Amino acid sequence: MCRTVLDMKEKHCRNLGLGIDTGGTYTDAVIVDLDTEEVIAKAKASTTYQDLSIGLLEAVDGVLRSKEFPVSDIQLVGVSTTLATNSILQGRGGAVGLIGIGWKPEEGWEFGARKACFISGGHDSRGREMHQLDMKEVDEAVSSTIRDTDAVVISAFFSVLNPSHEERVREAIRAVSTIPIVLGNELTSELGILERTTTAVLNAKLLPVIADFLSGVEKALMLREVMAPIMVLKGDGTFMNLAKAKSRPVETILSGPAASLMGGKQLSKNDRCIVLDIGGTSTDIAYLDNGYSHLQKEGAVVGQWRTRVKAVDIWTTGLGGDSRLDFIDGQIVIGPDRVVPIETACHQFPTLIEKIRALHKTEFLFAFDRDPSPLTGGERIVFDCIREKGPLTSGELMLAIPEVFLAAEYSKRLISKSYVITTGPTPTDVLHVAGIYIHGSVEGAKEAVGILAEKGNLTKEEFVREFMAKIGSRLAEEVVKKAVLDGSGTIPNDKASIFLVKLATSENDRSNIKVMISMDRPIVGLGAPAHIFVPLIKRILGTEIIIPENFEVGNAIGAVCSEVAESVEVQILPRDFRFHVYAPGHAPLDFETLEEAISFAKDLAEESAREKVKEAGGVETRILAEVEIKKVRAGAGSSKEIVNWAMVRVRAIGKPYLEKMDAKS
C-alpha cells in the first residue's frame, strides 16, 4: 500500500522514492521502493558545473525511462547537493549587508559581507541587556545595509540567550523593506559571535543560489509529472523540506558526504561501521555508531569559513578516480589535485592522442562549458581561446594569444574559479590499461600510463601492479589517520607518527619494525571504483570489507532514505538563588527550584523541536531527551556540591510528510 498524509485510501501502487546526488564528477539518480528497500532503477550522468540542474535532470531522465513503474508511484524525492559547498569555496552568492549589535570585529575577522555596520546594544552571558538600542543608530544602519544588497544579517552579542535586539532591528527593516533577513540566533544556539555571524552571512549569500537551483529542480520534476514532495538532505544526514532548504541553505553544507554515510548504512544494514566513499574527486571516510553519524563538534568548516552548521564528521582526502598521478623520487604519488583523465579527454577530442605522442606530454588546459560573463577581460580572452582551440599546453596558449602577456597567470585564475582544468593520468586511466573499466579512449589511457611508467623505469604492466598496491596502502593510511584523530584529537603529523602510520598501512617490509593494525568494525565501500580499490585494504587493516549491491549509487540511495530531525538545547544557570532558563528564541525565565526549571526547559525544548520538525516537513514525531547537570564544590574544604549549570537537550525525529504537490501551483 502507498499513501500520502492527505489521502489515506488504499491504492494499488508502490511507495517509491527518487534519490538524487550531485557529486564532484557524477550525478546519480535511483528509484527505491521505500517499503522493501529494493533499488528499482539507477542512472548516472556527468555533473555539469555550469548548471547543476542539467546533469541532475539527465540522471533523473535516465531512471524515469524505466518501464517498471508509473511516475505516479514516486511518493518522495530526496536531493543531496554540492552546490552550497562549491558556492562558498568559489565565493559565489548574493551581496549581503551585516548589522552587528553590541560588538565589533577583532582584527583579522572576515565574514564575507559586502557592507557592515556595528551599533550599540546586545546582552551579557546571563541574557541581561548591556546597552539599550539607539534607534537613530538602528535607522542609519538599516538605511546603509539595505542599499545595493540582496539580504541583511542581524547578529547581536549573546542573542542565543536573548534575541530581543535582533528582533527589534528586524522590525525596523521590515518597516521600510521586504529584503530577506537572517538573524544570528535562528541558525544556531551555540555561542561564538564570529562563527554565528559567519554562518548567518553565508546563509544569506546562499539564499538566491540555492533558491534558483531548487526552483529549477521543482519545475523540471513537475514537467516530468513527478509531483512528490522534495526533501533536501542536510549536512547532518537528515531531511528538510523545500521551503526550509530555501530559507536555510547553509545547512546543506556537506550534504553529499552525509548522503554517502546514510547510503552506507542503508545498503550494508550495519549500524556500526566505517563508510569509505570513493568519488571522482576525493574519498570521504566517516564512522557510524548505533545507527548515527558522528557530528563535527565545533561545526562544519568550508574553505576559510568556520561555521556553526551541524554536519557529519567527515575525513576527506584527495584520492579519487580523477586524481592526478605522478612519479616522484621513485614513488607513485596520487592526488590531491583533480584532473581530466586522458581517456576522457581523448574520447572527447580524438586528435589529442597524436599531440600526446608528439609532445610526450599529458598536461593540457581543458575548458568547462560555462558562462564566461563574470570573467574579467583577460580571463575571458584566455577562456575563449582554450574553449575554441583546446586542449592546449601552456606554451600553445601563449603562442595563440601573444597580445595577452599574463596568459599563464589568467589560466591559473581560471583553474581556481573552476572554468579551466588540466588533463593528466589518473587512476581511471590505469583501470583502462588493466582492462578492468572501459569508459573512454583505451589508446589514450595507455599512452598516458606509458609516459608515466617511463619516469619510474617500469613497463605499463609493472606500473599497474605498483599502483594497485599504492592505492590500497594510501586508502588504509587515510582510514587510520581518521581513527587516530578521533581517538587522540590530533592529526598524526610529526615524523614519528607519520612513519608508524605508513609502516602499519604499507606492503613494504624493508623496515626492521613490524606494526600490525586492525579496525574494530567493518568497512563499507561506496562509489564507482569501490569494488576494485576497497578490497585492497582488507589484509592491511584486518577487518571485514563490505561492498554492497548498488554500491556505485550509494549516495543517491542515502539522499532519499533518511528522516527529518531537529535538535534544541536549553541552558539553565543559577543566579541570585534562582534558576534561569535560557532557550533559543525566548527571553530568559527564572524558577525557584532546579526541578521546576528542568521541567519547564524540557517542555519548551520538546515543543520547539516538534515545531521545527513540522516546519522542516516531518510528521509522526518521536522525542529523545537528555539532561546534563554540572555540579561544583561549594568552597575549599567543603564536601557540599552546588549546581554550576544544567543543559537540556531534545532531539525530535519524524518521517517525511508525503503530500503530493499541486500540478497547478
pLDDT digits (tens, 9 = 90+) for 80-116: 987 777 777 667 788 999 999 999 988 888 888 889 9
**Of 158-162, 352-356, 494-498, minimum mean pLDDT range:** 494-498
> Could you count the other beta carbons within 10 Å of the beta carbon of residue 567?
19
- What is the rounded CA–CA span in Å between residue 200 and residue 189? 12
Per-residue confidence (pLDDT) for residue 640, from 0 to 100: 78
Question: In the predicted model, what is the mean pLDDT of residues 296-324?
Answer: 80
* Residue 477 identity (one-letter amino acid): E
Name the burial class of residue 595, with classes exposed (0-12), middle (13-18) and buried (19+) by CB atoms within 10 angstroms of its CB: exposed
- What is the rounded CA–CA span in Å between residue 158 and residue 142? 21
The 10s digit of each residue's pLDDT in 187-240 is 877 778 988 999 899 889 889 888 888 888 888 898 899 999 999 999 888 899
- What is the rounded CA–CA span in Å between residue 439 and residue 341? 11
Per-residue confidence (pLDDT) for residue 636, from 0 to 100: 63
Confidence of residue 186 (pLDDT cuts 50, 70, 90): confident
Per-residue confidence (pLDDT) for residue 337, from 0 to 100: 86
Confidence of residue 660 (pLDDT cuts 50, 70, 90): low
- What is the rounded CA–CA span in Å between residue 625 and residue 489? 27
CA distances, 121 to each of 103, 198, 359, 452 (Å): 8, 19, 67, 63
Per-residue confidence (pLDDT) for residue 6, from 0 to 100: 39
Q: Does the pLDDT value for residue 291 go beyond 90?
A: no
- What is the rounded CA–CA span in Å between residue 352 and residue 153? 50
Question: In the predicted model, what is the mean pLDDT of residues 161-171?
Answer: 91
Per-residue confidence (pLDDT) for residue 556, from 0 to 100: 93
To the nearest 10 degrees (0 to 180), the angle between helices 495-505 and 460-488 is 120
Task: Note if the pTM is more than 0.85.
Answer: no
The 10s digit of each residue's pLDDT in 242-252 is 989 999 888 88
Q: Which 3 state secondary structure label does DSSP give 51? A: coil
Phi, then psi, of 482 in degrees rounded to 5:
-65, -40
Q: Does the pLDDT value for residue 9 go beyond 50?
A: no
642 or 444, greater pLDDT: 444
Q: Which cell goes with 407? A: 596568459
Per-residue confidence (pLDDT) for residue 452, from 0 to 100: 94
Per-residue confidence (pLDDT) for residue 605, from 0 to 100: 92
Q: State percent of the chain over pLDDT 90.
A: 47
Per-residue confidence (pLDDT) for residue 7, from 0 to 100: 42
Residue 86: CA atoms inside 13 Å, Cβ hemisphere, count? 21
CA distances, 511 to each of 132, 244, 508, 614 (Å): 69, 56, 8, 59
Strand-strand pairing, 365-367 and 26-33: unpaired
Per-residue confidence (pLDDT) for residue 658, from 0 to 100: 78
- What is the rounded CA–CA span in Å between residue 451 and residue 27? 31
Q: Does the pLDDT value for residue 8 go beyond 60?
A: no
- What is the rounded CA–CA span in Å between residue 602 and residue 624? 11
CA distances, 181 to each of 111, 203, 581, 650 (Å): 16, 10, 27, 27
- What is the rounded CA–CA span in Å between residue 426 and residue 338? 9
Q: Does the pLDDT value for residue 324 go beyond 60?
A: yes
CB-based contact 424:365 (threshold 8 Å): no
Question: In the predicted model, what is the mean pLDDT of residues 35-40?
Answer: 90
Q: What is the dihedral of CA 49, 54, 60, 61, to 10 degrees?
A: -140
Per-residue confidence (pLDDT) for residue 507, from 0 to 100: 59
Nearest to 440 by CA among 511, 512, 343: 343
The 10s digit of each residue's pLDDT in 425-450 is 999 999 999 999 888 999 999 999 99
Kindly state the greatest CA–CA separation across the chain: 85
Average model confidence (pLDDT) across the chain? 87
Q: Does the pLDDT value for residue 639 go beyond 80?
A: no
- What is the rounded CA–CA span in Å between residue 208 and residue 210? 6
Confidence of residue 511 (pLDDT cuts 50, 70, 90): low
| Partners of 574 in the β-ladder | 579
Q: Does the pLDDT value for residue 146 go beyond 60?
A: yes
Query: CA-based angle 646:649:655, to the nearest 5?
Result: 170
Question: In the predicted model, what is the mean pLDDT of residues 567-594?
Answer: 86
- What is the rounded CA–CA span in Å between residue 54 and residue 353? 29
- What is the rounded CA–CA span in Å between residue 375 and residue 419? 10
Check residue 295 and report its DSSP letter: B
